Every structure is written in C-alpha cells, then in structure tokens.
A and B are shown apart, each in its own frame.
Chain A
Amino acid sequence: MAHRIEVALKPGFLDAHGEKVLKQAREDLHLNNIQAVRTIKVFLVDSDLDDKSLIAMATGPCSDPVIQHYSIDAPMAPQLFDSSAPDWIIEVGYRPGVTDNEGKVAREALELMIGELPSGRGVYTAVQYCIQGPLSREEMEELATGLLCNDLIQRHIVVSFQDLNSLYHQEGSPFYFVPRVTGTTEIVVEQIDLSEMTDQELIELSKNRVLVLNLQEMKILQKHLQDPSVLEERKKMGLGRAYTDLELEALAQTWSEHCKHKIFNAKITYRTPDGEEQIDSLFDTYIRRGTQEIRRKRGEQDWCLSVFKDNAGVISLNEKWNVAFKVETHNSPSALDPYGGALTGIVGVNRDPFGTGLGARLVFNTDVFCFGPPDWDQPLPKGLLHPKRIFEGVREGVEHGGNQSGIPTVNGSILFDERYLGKPLVFCGTGGLMPKKIGDRPSHEKKAQPGDAIVMCGGRIGKDGIHGATFSSEELHEGSPATAVQIGDPITQKKMFDFLLRARDLGLYNSITDNGAGGLSSSVGEMAEESGGFELHLDRAPLKYPGLQPWEILVSEAQERMTLAVPQEKLDQFLALSKKMDVESTVLGTFTDSGKFHCLYNGRTVAYLDLDFVHNGVPQMELTAIWEEPVHPEPDMPEPEDLGRELKKLLSRFNICSKEYVVRQYDHEVQGGSVIKPLTGLMDDGPSDAAVIRPDLERLDGLVVSHGIIPRYSDIDTYHMTMCAVDEAVRNAICVGASLDHMAGLDNFCWCDPVQSEKTPDGHYKLAQLVRANKALYEICTAYGVPCISGKDSMKNDAKIGSVKISIPPTLLFSVIARIRNVEQAVTMDAKEPGHAVYILGITRPEMGASEYFVMNGFIGNTVPMVDIESALARYHALEQAISKGLVASCHDCSDGGMAVALAETAFSGGLGMEIDLDSVLQDQVERLDHLLFSESQSRFIVTVPESDCTAFEDIMADTGIARIGTVTHEPTLRLSSRGAFVVDEAITDLKAAWKQPLDW
C-alpha cells in the first residue's frame, strides 16, 4: 500500500509560501475573512516500504530536520498552529500522467537508498494548505480553483477540519489517491480509408481527428493513395489503400500551419485602393530576399552563417565564436496552464539553439509577455483565467525554467492590452555560443548519414502534448484537450545538455535536433531530409507509462528530448557516456537513404510514406488581402493644464511602469558575463534599454541583446507598426553601444487568423495587415543592413469563448543581437553627474496616433509615428562612434510615452534632476506642449554628456538632428520650461514613485 509522508515547518519558522497565498487570497480573490495559511508538503510513496526505510525517507530527502518535522500516515494539520486548529484543508496534487518533478526527484532519492523501484511504482507529491478563518466551503472552492489549483493538470480536495480524521483513515481515502496512470489499452493501428469519402466526410474526418487540414489538403491525401505505384510499394510492406492513423497524424502534423507556415508561403493577391499585386510567398519575397540582399552587399564581410534553415539562426560573433539565436512563442498552452505553458516555452526554446548545427552552449534568455490588464475587474468569459493569474503563472514558469537551467534572463518586456485576455503571448528566446569548429567540422553545419543510428535522448514519452502542433494552429474552445498542456523538467534537460555538450566535443554524433512540436515525427522526419530516409521502431521508445498507441508515441510532444544521428562506430561510446552521466538514450532505428518515412511497431510496418510527399506534398494556399486604411476619430481634447500630472499618469501606465517585480525574480547574472543588467542606475532600478553580456570571460568583446514591439500601432497601420518595432530594437541596441554593422534580427509574428472564412469575416483585411508588415520589414531591414536570421509565426491567436471572439492586435516582436567591440565602452541610461549637458537626438513631430498618451485618454487617432530611415541611419552611425569614443555619459531611447518619459527615467534613475528648455527641442509642426512631451516620434534619444566632451560630441553628431536642451542638476527636480515658464516641475522621487507603484506586488 501507499504511505503518506507529511512535512511541515517547525513552529517559529516563517511559512513564506503560506504568507504568499494569504496575501494573494486577500488581494486577488478578496477573501477578506481568511486569517492564516500554513502549508504542508505531502509525499505519497506508492511502494511497500518497511518502517525503517520510511523513516529514512522522511528524515533524509523529504525533510530538513533543522526546520521541519514530519509525520508518517498521520495528518500534520492539527499541529500546525500554535494553539488552535485550522478550519479548512485544501490539498492539491497532480492528475495522472502530469509531470511531477518533485515526485521524480524523491523517487530517485529513494532508489539511492533501497535500489530501483519496480516500474509503475513511484513517489507523488501534493501540497496541503491549512487555512484559518470563518470561511464557507464555497469560498474554499474559490480559493482552490481561483489560485491554488489548475483543474486541467491538478486535482484538489476541500476538507473541513472536523472531517479530516475520519476521511483520512477511511477506506478509499482521497488522501491516499495515487495518481498513477492505470488501465490497459489494446494496441491498435487504425486504418482510415479516404478513397471513397465525399468532401463532407473528408472535412468531418479532419475535424474529428483534430487534423486541422482543409478540404484541398485532404483531397491531396485522398489522391495520393490512388497512385498505383505508391500502392504497389505499400503492398510490399503490408499496407493498403488506407492510411494508418500514424500516417495521417504525421502528415497532419508536418502540414500544419505551425510547421509549414502555409500563410507565409501562400500566393497572395494584394489589393489596395491604388491597385493590385501578386505576391508569391511573403517569406520568400520580403524576409528571405531581404537577408539575401544584405548578405550579398556585405560580400566578404558577411557574418551570417546559417539562416532560416536550422532550429536557430547562426551568425559569426568573432574569430572564435558563433552565436545561435531563436525566439519562440508558447501562447495557447500558456492560456490553459500559464505555469506549465511558460515553463515549457522557455525550456523548449532552449533546445532550439542547442539543436542547431552541432549544438550550442546556451548563454542568454529573453522573454516578452503580452497580457490582459492585471487589474481587470469585468466578468471573464468562461474558460479564461484572470490576467493576473496568467501573469503570475507565466512569470513563475519562466523563472523556474530559466533559473534552474542556469541561463541568465537578460532582456524582456511586458505589455498589456485587453485583447490579450483571450490569448496571452509568451515569447521566449535563447542565444547560444558555439566554437567556430568542432574537431574539423564547422559547428553550424550538420548532416545525418545513411546508416547512422536514430537515438532519442533525455526524457521519456507520455501522452503529454499530443496534438500540440495542430492545436496551436486552432483557436481555443471550451473543449480544448488537456493533453495539450505539458510541464517542463529543467533538470532532466540540464543533465542532458551537460552530456550532449561533452558528446559534441568528442565528435560522437553527426546531427542533432530537438523534439518540439510534432515530436519524433517531426524531429526524425526533418533529420531524414539530410540522409534521405529513416526506419523508426516505435516499440523501442521508452515510455513514462504503458498504454500509448503507436501514433501517440510518434507525435507526442513530451519534453526534454533531443534526437541524434550517431554513427554506428561511435554508438557504444555515446551510450556508455550517456549512462554514466545519468541520461537516458535509446536507439530507435536507423537513418537511411530509402526516400521513405518508415515506422515499425514490433517489426510490423505501421507507416510508409514518401519523404518527399510528407515534406513537399502540401499545396500552396491562395489567399486574398485587401487593404483599406482605417480612419479613427481625431481626439478632441484640450491641452491639459497640469502636464506634470499627465507625466505621472503616463509613468504609472502598465506599459510604461517599472517591471522590477518580475526582473528581480529572474537570474540575470549567472555565467558571470553580465555587463549591462536589466536594472541599472544609482539605486539599481532604472530601466535598461538593452543587455550587454560577455559570454567569453577571457575576451572584452560582447553581445548586445534588445528588442522592439509596439502592437498598438497596428490599429492604424501594421506597416508603421513594423517599422517602429524594428527601429525600437535597433535604437535600444545602439543606446548601449552596439555596432550597427554587426547586428542581426529575429522576427516573431503573432497574428490573428488572416484567412477569410465564416468565422473570420475580416480575414482579407487582417491578411493585408500581414502583407504590409512584411513590406515594412523588408524595407527597414535592408536599409539598416540588419538581416533577419530566423523567425517564427503564430497565426491563430484568436480565442473563441462561447459567442465572443477576441483577436489579439497584430503583434511583431523584433529581437536583435549585435556585437559590441569593447564592453568597457558600454553605456547605461541613467544620468550620471550634475552639470552634464542634456541632448535630444532626432526630430519630434506631432505623431500622436496610437501613442500611450492618446490611448490613456481613450483615443487612437491617425498620425502614427513613421520612421525616417535615412536620417535615423546617419544618427545611429554617429552615435555609435560617439559612444565608442567614450563621450556619452548616458543614453536612453524615447519610446512609449515619448520624450518626457525618457527624460524622467534618465533623471530619476540617476537620482538627479534636470532643467530642460523645451523650446530648444528640434521639432516639426508641433503646436502643443502635450504633443511635444508625449509624441512617440521614432529614432530619438536622450543623451547626457560631460561638459568637457560636448564639443567633440557635437562635432560627431553634427547634421544628424541634435539639440542641447538642458543640464543635469543636483537638485532632484525635473523642470521643463517653455517660454520662460515651468510647465513641468516635479520632484524625481514623486515621478519615480508613480513609475514604481503599479506592479509593486
């Protein structure tokens, strides 16, 4: 039978987790009668242990005798509070099959003492919350489901204290429920014969099996198995004119929007009021071509090494190192289970650079989140979690994933908009470093050879994440399958990475890729393109629990797995090293040059497809895009009397305010190469524009990491949204000292469904928005010479809950990596010393459309900021030069909230004041002071310069739009004057307080 070990803190030690729950229950759920919360850790040991082993387990790995006490098969709850009992007990554990990292480690610890447990036995964990207060059962249920438990992956029980003892010891006690995956499943390979199906039946099939293929695609599948030569070959393998379920799943997965980017590769007819044009693939026309042109122009100086073909883009950093960089999104899973979804997002994107070329050592993470407003107080459609709960879950998931993996989180943003209520966006990015060569092979190239063993390494396969690829290509609905949610296991992955880096350096494999969306089907299928085919024995795959069907093994997205091509002569050495380093590796078959996608189960062929058909059989979509410029009412509002007040209001906007609460919980310094941290300035709390790291501690050159994102502007024109996002990323990097001639970008498009249909009646317009974004991307990237090296699109970010459809605003995240020649010349954004001159670089125009200021006042307007590429380019080159000469004391970009926000941030981050003459600001047709202060005109900076360097600085910046507008002052006040009068006169402590307060949780 199972045994329960309960562990609690001894009296006198603060239960920090209990206190946190108490605070959130009061603040977020308004359970004002809750008085105290204490927690108990529960280990359910599903194994017949003798008393001695149980005690050893309880006193050893399960508890810390200095601070904790424990009980075995008896409740701790009655002893938790000094002189009284709890009123309620809520226990939260996992559902069967859900990753339980603590349980796994506890099992390993137990096995160290008593030897291996029989399969099917294990240790499961749960948390018990003991609660005091005059509270009803309904309130306890609300606490359980609203804060403590996510029913998709967890189960909970609510028990009143009176019932505890009887329930605890009764037959079939819920406290002894072992969440073991049980039941026997007959292994079945289904045959699905499409040949006689009508169109309607094909559509039904696609829908019922969640294939997410359209009629045209289904008909191609139907036709394929009517080809006599194909049938002849199948016959030899014992297959007929019906597809097996594995084949259909593999095709659906490979042909999914997620994997094939069908919209980006579609043939598009693009109409505007001025005419019509044909676009044959947005990706080829605007993204790939832009990068090609930049590379060609650089010629010998081209530092791009591997773009758009591997899991991450690779550039050369210096003569010793290459850098691989990738940003992914994990939106749908994060909507369902914010913690697990985000955790899987970060550890998942880690595997991209790790699985690029021959593998990269990971050196930084970046995260950008888009949420609904955390103070949302309107009713939410059923099925949606409150945005604050999503925020907290995502924050914590990324914290655990990033911190435990030992990768510094160096850069990020959090944005808020009501339209992210339905689907939050969770962008996670990772950069890795690889030596130029591994042995005598270029590190950025890989090639599986025919005859190489297919080896799966790392975690085991469960039902988790089945249908992830097809799922993220669908909008959410109330019946979304819970199996789409996975929980990452950073430590299993870390152990695997430690092993694989060593195997890499020993030259033990020819190719590597990660198991992400589509699982083995995708990883083996993609690597097979290198060798020309594969033979995969699915029955050999290690499973978390029995009962998986062959198709589930093929497409499961269970995490922490890499697939490798290991030459036969190195297989023994590879497997021995793996075993020694406590990492599971299993040979699943062989790469071949047969041209076939060939899967077997117990020796019988269960999938046999032409690799070419799998990869290239999907037809090109044909779509129509129609652009009509939207017209929004121009605001009719008087110029505010108190501009200082407006400034403070802006500083308190969720999009502008301090994100220190989140940043501090992410390790941004591990690996020891931190140069510019996310928080900076006198009190270590100013907002850095970009990160600088030194990934090689022996060198003085480094990496700059930044990003730009401004979805608000999509309400007016995605063309300018894109221009501004790229410009923001570039100017953020320039701020800290990056080289513009060694800068690469990554585009991540998160769009709402742009395919016209009954459920998307405005698809033509949304597709036109996508076209315009791509045109802008081409235009600005080629002008700046910043090539896109990789990217990703997520095209179905709509949530349909009941009859309500919520679409996100079209969102482009542009991420930048750049080289900085000498990190000792890097610059931060905080004002440094009184007496330094303050400059603004760039011209301010009345570009108020979709600005934070307009939106704050309830308007969108039409005058969206536009990038003046030519003048920006000259300014960036000059500023880069001035920074490298050490002339710049501080540099901060003007973005959300405009010049006034940038001035305030520069001043209060340095703990200093400023006196600014607004009449000196370079401007063009700005007629109002509020517009001058809060316009979001692009390509502008606030720079401070020591008096002694002003002449040299002005010489370098001459003719690039420079104006000296004031002085840094000792007196801690921000004073902005116009025509001799102060129009803003605010203590920097007040400004800073306004900026810090909103997310100071």
Chain B
Amino acid sequence: MKSQVKAIVTTGYGTNCEREMAHACRVAGADQVDIVHLSDILDGSVRITDYHFLNLPGGFLDGDNLGAAQAGSHRFRYARIAGSGQRLMDQLLEFVEKGGLVLGICNGFQLMVKTGLLPGFDDNYQERLVSLTWNDTGRFVDRWVTCRVPEESRCIFTRGMDSVELPVRHGEGKFVVQDQAILDRIEQENLVALRYVDPDTGEPSAEYPANPNGSVNAIAGICDPTGRLMGLMPHPEAFHHFTNHPRWTRGDCSRNEEGAGLKMFRNAVEYLREHL
C-alpha cells in the first residue's frame, strides 16, 4: 500500500487563502487535507507533527499591522501550546526536523522569513536573515508575472518546472537581505527557487512590472538547504484550473492543461510518497 500523504493548511488571525490551498493539495493527490485553525493547534487538539505537508497560506496575519507577518511570527515565537508549555515555534521546528515539507505562499512566505524558517542556514531555523518589505511602488499590486526556476535549484516543489505564470497579490513582497554575504550564500547554495523574469526575454528582471516589487536579484521564492522548505510571493494555489489564467479566453492556457501552479503541490505529494 502506498503511504498516506497528510497535508495541513493553517488558518486564523487573518489568513485567507486556506481554501484554495487545500483545494490544490487535494487535486494534487494528498490523501488527507485538513484546514486547521491556529487555535486548534494552540489548545493542543491538533498537532502539526501528525502531518507531512505544512501549508502556510496567504492573507494578512493580524492585518499585517506591524509589517507583513510581523505580529504573526511574534505569535509563533511566544504563544504556547496549552498543556505542554511548548511554543508554537517549537512544534514547527519539530515538524521540520522530522522531515516534513513546508510551503509558505505570500503571507506564509513572509511568516517563514520572519520566523527564520528561511533561509535556514546551518540548521538554524530561527534567525531572521532576509525579509520581505514594501514594494518599491509603495502599493499593493495584483497582477500576473512570469517566473523561472533556476536550473540548479535545490527546491523540491519546483522540480521539473521551467517557467511559470502566476499571480502576485501583495504590498510587501520585495525580497531583501541583511547583507551581501547572505545574498551570496543564497545564490551559491542554489537556494533561489523562483525568479521574476521578463516574459519576452525570459531573463531575470529588475524592472516593474516584470519584477513587481523590486526584489533583489529578482528573487520571487527561496528554499532552505534541504529543499523541503519553500516560500514564495506568487500564488501557485491561485492557478489550479485553466480558467484562472488571465488570458485563457485567448487560448494562452489550453483547456486540456491544468493550472500550472498545481505542479508544486504535485511535486510535494510525489516526494512524500517516495520518502514516507
């Protein structure tokens, strides 16, 4: 019998993409997909570690009121799970140590960098070294962008992917680093999972709108050195059906294709089937 892949999608406190993310997990073949409110984890009734695939969806944790996922990451660091004294973050680290997959999209990505889950150098998943800040335009933006997966990427989620069109929908998506050394290391260790590219040339772009936020090195998503943890600003879960594509009526995504964002979820499920 094949292994059962169990996915958890967290929600609560302002998360709002949990339903389509769960849908993507289901279509990708996960055997069990549960949308779980953070309060169910905090009161001890659900444990993240009982799952294999942790989905951190987009949204506005605490309204992004102190900065995107600032207060959210603070909660992970300080809120304790009833009965155990364990911090939410501790359970997350336990999950990572056990070999689970983590996919953070948009606000989920912001949460991952702000807790320090990414880039996760040297098994340190608690130090903030990179961040996501206000778009250069100072504006929230909803538009579709073209992204490319670097050939040498270690990321499990983007395996077999080359170029993909996805929507971005954020105000704070500009990827920045603490210093050049961090950026060099991310590049050298092939932790860049996705880059914004010019749709005409396929080359990484620093220019709006191809690069919608001014991210350094056109970075749209990164993974940790194991490739099992990935965060990205674009929304693959919002491209699960061909009618999601902005130009499907022009035949840009054919009726026989599935939404290209699903591939990331399929990769996750496939990887887990092989490794569980």
Whether A17 lies near B138 (C-beta < 8 A) is yes
Instruction: Mark A642-667 against chain B: 1 for CB-CB distance below 8 A, else 0.
Output: 00000000000000000000011111
Q: Is B6 an interface residue (CB 8 A)?
A: no
Which of A105-113, A204-212, A261-269, A350-358 lies on the face that meets chain B? A105-113
Contact (Cβ within 8 A) A66 B178 = yes
* Interface hits, B221-276 → A, CB 8 Å: 235, 237-238, 240-241, 243-244, 246-247, 249-251, 255
Are A64 and B131 CB-contacts (below 8 A) given A101-B63, A668-B142? yes
Cβ-based interface call for B204 (8 A): no
Indicate whether A684 reaches chain B with its CB closer than 8 angstroms. Answer: yes
7 A-B residue pairs with Cβ-Cβ distance under 8 Å, sorted by A, are: A14-B136, A67-B131, A580-B39, A671-B16, A681-B247, A698-B23, A832-B249
**B-facing residues in A54-99 (Cβ within 8 Å):** 60-62, 64-67
Q: Which residues of A contact B (CB under 8 A)?
A: 13-14, 16-17, 19-20, 60-62, 64-67, 101-102, 104-106, 108-109, 112-113, 399, 403-406, 489-491, 494-495, 498, 502, 580-582, 663-677, 679-682, 684, 694, 697-698, 823-824, 826-828, 830, 832, 890, 910
A828 to B246 CA separation, bound complex (whole angstroms): 10
* Residues in A neighbouring B129, C-beta threshold 8 A: 66
Which 8 pairs across A and B sit closest by C-beta, in order of nearness? A406-B16, A672-B20, A16-B138, A66-B131, A491-B63, A105-B65, A112-B78, A20-B138
The yes or no answer to B143 lying at the interface (CB within 8 A) is yes
Bound complex: CA of A682 vs CA of B60, how far in Å? 31
B137, A16: Cβ atoms under 8 Å?
Answer: yes
Partner of A67, one of B133, B136, B237, B250: B133
8 Å CB interface, B156-175 against A: 167, 169
Residue from B58, B63, B64, B244 having most chain A Cβ neighbours under 10 A: B63
Cα distance A667–B58 when bound, in Å? 12
Contact across chains for A824 and B131 when beta carbons are under 8 A apart: no
Whether B140 and A494, one on each chain, are in contact in the complex, defined by CB atoms closer than 8 angstroms, is no
Contact A61 B131 (CB under 8 A): no
Q: Assess the B250–A109 pair: CB atoms within 8 A.
A: no
Greatest chain A CB density within 10 A among B17, B19, B39, B249 is at B249
Q: Does B43 touch A at the CB level, under 8 Å?
A: yes
Mask: chain B, 57-86; 1 = CB below 8 Å from A; 0 = not? 011101111110011001101110000000
| Alpha-carbon distance A554/B250, docked complex (angstroms) | 56
- Given that A105-B63, A669-B169 are contacting pairs, would A664 and B142 also be in contact in the complex, using a CB cutoff of 8 Å? yes
How many chain B residues touch A (CB < 8 A): the figure is 66
**Closest residue of chain A to B14, judged by CB?**
A491
Among B9-28, those with CB < 8 Å from A are 11-17, 19-20, 23-24
Q: Is the CB of A826 within 8 A of B243?
A: yes
Interface residues, chain B, with chain A CB atoms under 8 Å away: 11-17, 19-20, 23-24, 37, 39, 43, 58-60, 62-67, 70-71, 74-75, 77-79, 114, 128-131, 133-144, 167, 169, 176-178, 214, 235, 237-238, 240-241, 243-244, 246-247, 249-251, 255
Partner of B136, one of A16, A60, A832, A910: A16
* B59: nearest chain-A partner, CB-CB: A406
- B243 x A675 contact (CB < 8 A): yes
- B142 with A404: CB separation less than 8 A: no
Rounded to whole angstroms, the CA-CA distance of A671 and B63 in the bound complex is 17
A663 surroundings in chain B (CB, below 8 A): 142
Closest chain B residue to A663, Cβ basis: B142
Contact status A64-B247, CB under 8 Å: no
* B-chain residues with CB within 8 Å of residue A109 when the two chains form the complex: 66, 71, 74-75
Question: Are A61's CB and B70's CB within 8 A?
Answer: yes
Residues of A within 8 A of B78 (CB): 112-113
A502–B45 CA distance with the chains assembled, in angstroms: 16
Residues in A with CB closer than 8 Å to B24 are 672
Give the interface centre of A17, A108, A672 by most chain B CB atoms within 10 Å: A672
Determine the residue in chain A with the shortest Cβ distance to B42.
Answer: A580
When the two chains form their complex, are residues A498 and B37 in contact, meaning their CB atoms are under 8 A apart? Answer: yes
With A and B bound together, what is the CA distance between A406 and B237 in angstroms?
Answer: 14
* Contact in complex: A112, B249 (CB < 8 Å): no
Known interface pairs A61-B66, A491-B60; 9 further A-B residue pairs with C-beta atoms within 8 A, sorted by A's residue number: A66-B128, A102-B66, A105-B71, A494-B16, A669-B235, A669-B244, A672-B23, A673-B20, A697-B19
> Which secondary structure dominates chain B's binding surface?
mixed
Partner of B12, one of A498, A675, A684, A824: A498
| Nearest CB of chain A from residue B214's CB, rounded to whole Å | 7
Q: Considering the chains assembled together, what is the distance between the CA atoms of A675 and B58 in angstroms? A: 20
A498 touches which one: B11, B23, B141 (CB < 8 A)?
A: B11
Task: Report yes or no: A674 in contact with B244, Cβ–Cβ below 8 A.
Answer: yes
In the complex, what residue of chain B is closest to A492 when comparing beta carbons?
A: B63
Q: Is the CB of A581 within 8 A of B240?
A: no
**What CA separation (Å) do A399 and B170 show in the bound complex?**
11
When the two chains form their complex, are residues B13 and A491 in contact, meaning their CB atoms are under 8 A apart?
yes
Contact B66 A62 (CB under 8 A): yes
| Residues of A with C-beta under 8 A to B70 | 61, 64
Please tell me if the beta carbons of B23 and A101 are within 8 angstroms of each other in the complex. Answer: no
Inter-subunit contact B60/A672 (CB<8 Å): no
- Minimal Cβ-Cβ distance residue in A for B70: A61
Q: Which residue of A lies closest to B82 (CB)?
A: A580
Q: Are A682 and B238 in contact (CB under 8 A)?
A: no
A105 touches B142 (CB 8 A): no
| B193 to A: closest C-beta gap in Å | 19
Q: How far is the CA of A62 from the CA of B71 in the complex (A)?
A: 8
The residue of chain B having its C-beta at the shortest distance from the C-beta of A684 within the complex is B246
Complex-state Cα separation, A405 to B17, whole angstroms: 11
Distance in Å: Cβ of B144 to nearest Cβ of chain A: 6
Q: For the complex, give the distance between the alpha carbons of A13 and B215 in Å.
A: 12
Could you tell me the distance in whole angstroms from the C-beta of B115 to the nearest C-beta in chain A? 12
**Complex contacts, B17 vs chain A, CB 8 Å:** 406, 670-672
The smallest beta-carbon distance between A591 and chain B, in angstroms, is 29
Task: Find out whether the CB atom of B20 lies under 8 angstroms from the CB atom of A108.
Answer: no
Residues from chain A with Cβ under 8 Å of B141 in the complex:
664-665
Shortest CB-to-CB span from A491 to chain B, Å, is: 4
CB distance from B215 to the nearest CB of A (A): 12
Minimum distance in angstroms from B228 CB to a CB of chain A: 23
How many angstroms between the C-alpha atoms of A694 and B248 in the bound complex? 15
Give the chain B neighbours of A664 by CB distance below 8 A. 139, 141-143
Given the complex of chains A and B, what is the CA–CA distance between A890 and B114 in angstroms?
A: 46
